[in-house]
Structure 1
Amino acid sequence: MKVFITGGHGFIGSHVVRKLVEQGHSVRCLVRESSDTSRIDGIEWERFKGDVRSKELMIEGIDGCDAVIHLASPSSWDDINSPYMKQIVEDGTRNVLDAARHHGGLDVVYCSSTIAVNGTDDAVVQNEDTEFTLKDPSLVYAMSKNAAEKICEEYSDLRVVTVCPAEVYGPHDTGMVTAGNLVDFATSPVVLVTRGGTAVVHVEDVADGVIAALEKGKAGGRYILGGENLTIEGLAQLTLEILGLNKKVVVVPTPWIKSLTKVGQTLRLPLPYNPLVIPYATKFWFISNEKATKELGITFRDARATLEPTIEWLKAEGLV
């Protein structure tokens, strides 16, 4: 196949591109002038300059392709409340789907997130059928990703398959999107964590899941791509164990951290953490991967097997 990919130069996307090329497919990647393509340099792929915010450019870019994988999305914490979130995540998704429809109804894989599934105040394992109950307006990214999934449901004339990766770890996370957590655990004298939790997943397993969704996913299907569920405390402790560090991990009560964050933001005081993280880090994003395992035929590494190669890469880079 010839596959059009948005976000192909990103952390997940670069692994998807490499795997597709290794499997003999050709790839056309959407990039902007400012895109850093170093993760996919050295392999053969076609460059198309454009932006998901332009429907016309999406129609032009997808022309001649057989399928679409839509991964483009703000990913750094600094962009998590971006004023462009709706334009990129929601309107951009609609533009990609309209372009796929324009070219005769191409198959589309949309990459969402487990935060679009739901978050809870206690450790409850959720699945693809869980009701999205989040109302907190500070969870802008979660709301926007969930809204984009709803847009995908409108295109019942297309074979649209949605995948929801959990918290993705692995080597070459140069944007420190998740690897930054491990660096913080390693370098803080006392490790302070929130009462929350997440599923962790290796980036290679996510890439396998994305490609399997394109090949085997059911039209209108939704698949969670996640490995082991861990509390933030457990994630910190496992990181320190792998590194051979003996440090205390302290769980800060949710009311305390939320109050401190509110005061810091109101008074514009410097905080030793990114305040935008707190609404997410104080919830549980625990999931079941049973559906993806059964229907897509993929497997997921456990937390240790996910973190160890990430930490080895961080060591090699001199970051821990």
Structure 2
Amino acid sequence: MSNNKEFSSEKSSSVKNVLIIGAGGYIGGALCRKFSQTEDFAALALVRPSSDIEGIKPFCKEIIRSQEADISSNDVAQAIRKHDITTVINVAWHIPLESTKEAQFAFDRVPLEAALHGASAVSPDIHVITTSGNFSLITTNGGRITETPPPKGYILPEYLICLDLLAGVNVLKDGLVEEYISNGGNASIVYPSSVYGSAPTRGGFWDFAIQQFITGKPHQGSQPFPPDFMTAWIHVEDLADCYIGVARFGSKGGHYLAAPENLSVSQVSTLFAEAAQVEFLAPVFENKDKVIFDDSHTRELLQLQWKYKVADEVKGWVERIKELGTYFLD
């Protein structure tokens, strides 16, 4: 029997095979690692021909290369049939981000539609789990944010206009998934809050965003977040447990919010700066829209208990960024 850092080929025959699209990314790599540590699931990765697989190879039962440059529904359908896949998880994002949500959507919809249409071509029982973001849940009036998607045509609060690209592309992607569900497809949506922590592959979006906020300067063309930006935070390991929970207990058309800690960017940046031992005078934060993320319903449905807290993990987060070479605070 291999240790829990590597995929075990000795799992029982009752193990269910999960196909992960976007496995080479930040969240996808964590998913491969976490699934490899379960007794009831095995991870298979569907990657592009050019993808670097060294970081995920120890955790995958199989790594499947797409037949063309982009992953297609035919790739997904073939993988499902050949490997008896029961669940498809799409966490693929086009990086670096495009300048408009329409341009970003043109890239992001390719693996998403491949997952949906590939699964439906094989069996209506194949569960497709897609990923969105908590930015696309926020309503005009703020308040308590749960798993319930906002109504069509809602307007972002003024302080979130800077997130039009991220929120907008998620809304467009969610629309495809909701249409698929309404037509009888077996799919569900996970809404991760802001994700931090280490993963087997590259770093995450917030590695840069927090450092930009501390310096007050743009980095790689992106502006720092506004001082009153309110979000919630989840460690990438806890998020991986959420996806596993959806694979185990999720239902057709389900919506699941993973948002353990309500903290503003100002508050998290203060913790980050302290861990990095850099000077930082945090702006006064006021939660003007009274935004509170509440994922209690998801935790109950999926039998989850969050294990990580930002204050306990931020030092390790800083060290991981230094290891990746994406640390630019002086």
Question: Do the structures match in fold with TM over 0.5?
Answer: yes
Of stretches 27-36 and 150-159 in structure 1, the one that deviates more from structure 2 is 150-159
1:58 is aligned to 76
| Root mean square deviation of aligned Cα | 3.2
Confirm whether residue 302 of structure 1 aligns to residue 330 of structure 2: no
Distance 2:203 2:284 in 1: 26
Distance 2:242 2:108 in 1: 21
Post-superposition offset of 1:160: 1.5
Confirm whether residue 21 of structure 1 aligns to residue 27 of structure 2: no
1:153 is aligned to 178
Confirm whether residue 90 of structure 1 aligns to residue 117 of structure 2: no
1:37 to 1:235, Cα distance in 2 relative to 1, 3 A: same
Confirm whether residue 171 of structure 1 aligns to residue 198 of structure 2: yes
Post-superposition offset of 1:162: 1.2
Confirm whether residue 109 of structure 1 aligns to residue 129 of structure 2: yes
1:277 is aligned to none
Post-superposition offset of 1:209: 0.2
1:188 to 1:117, Cα distance in 2 relative to 1, 3 A: closer
Confirm whether residue 288 of structure 1 aligns to residue 313 of structure 2: no
TM-score (norm 2): 0.75
2:10 is aligned to none
Look up the SS of the partner of 2:145 in the other structure: coil
1:226 is aligned to 259
Distance 1:113 1:182 in 2: 18
Are 1:31 and 1:49, in contact at CA under 8 Å, matched by a contact in 2? yes
Of stretches 139-148 and 159-168 in structure 1, the one that deviates more from structure 2 is 139-148
Are 1:4 and 1:27, in contact at CA under 8 Å, matched by a contact in 2? yes
Q: What CA deviation, in whole Å up to 9, does each residue of 1:173-207 have, x standing for no partner?
A: 73452112344466679xx7622121111000000
TM-score (norm 1): 0.77
Are 2:256 and 2:298, in contact at CA under 8 Å, matched by a contact in 1? yes
Are 1:119 and 1:285, in contact at CA under 8 Å, matched by a contact in 2? no
Distance 1:13 1:37 in 2: 11
The within-5 A match list for 1:212-291 is 212-250=245-283, 286-291=292-297
Are 2:32 and 2:60, in contact at CA under 8 Å, matched by a contact in 1? no
Distance 1:138 1:199 in 2: 15
Confirm whether residue 196 of structure 1 aligns to residue 229 of structure 2: yes
Of stretches 207-216 and 283-292 in structure 1, the one that deviates more from structure 2 is 283-292
Are 1:113 and 1:165, in contact at CA under 8 Å, matched by a contact in 2? yes
Distance 1:298 1:283 in 2: 28
Q: What are structure 1's unaligned runs of at least 5 residues?
A: 254-281
1:306 to 1:109, Cα distance in 2 relative to 1, 3 A: farther
Post-superposition offset of 1:244: 4.2
Look up the SS of the partner of 1:42 in the other structure: helix
1:316 to 1:97, Cα distance in 2 relative to 1, 3 A: closer
Distance 2:27 2:257 in 1: 15
Q: State, as a whole percentage, how many aligned pairs show the same letter.
A: 22
The one-letter code matched in structure 2 to 1:291 is H
Q: Which has the higher contact order (CA 8 A, sep 6+)?
A: 1
Confirm whether residue 134 of structure 1 aligns to residue 170 of structure 2: no
Look up the SS of the partner of 2:55 in the other structure: helix
Distance 1:208 1:93 in 2: 21
Aligned residues: 288
The one-letter code matched in structure 2 to 1:228 is E
Post-superposition offset of 1:317: 5.2
Are 1:52 and 1:96, in contact at CA under 8 Å, matched by a contact in 2? no
The one-letter code matched in structure 2 to 1:34 is S
Distance 1:230 1:209 in 2: 20
Post-superposition offset of 1:251: 6.4
Are 1:161 and 1:214, in contact at CA under 8 Å, matched by a contact in 2? no
1:124 is aligned to 143
The one-letter code matched in structure 2 to 1:225 is A
2:25 is aligned to 10
Post-superposition offset of 1:83: 5.7
1:80 to 1:201, Cα distance in 2 relative to 1, 3 A: farther
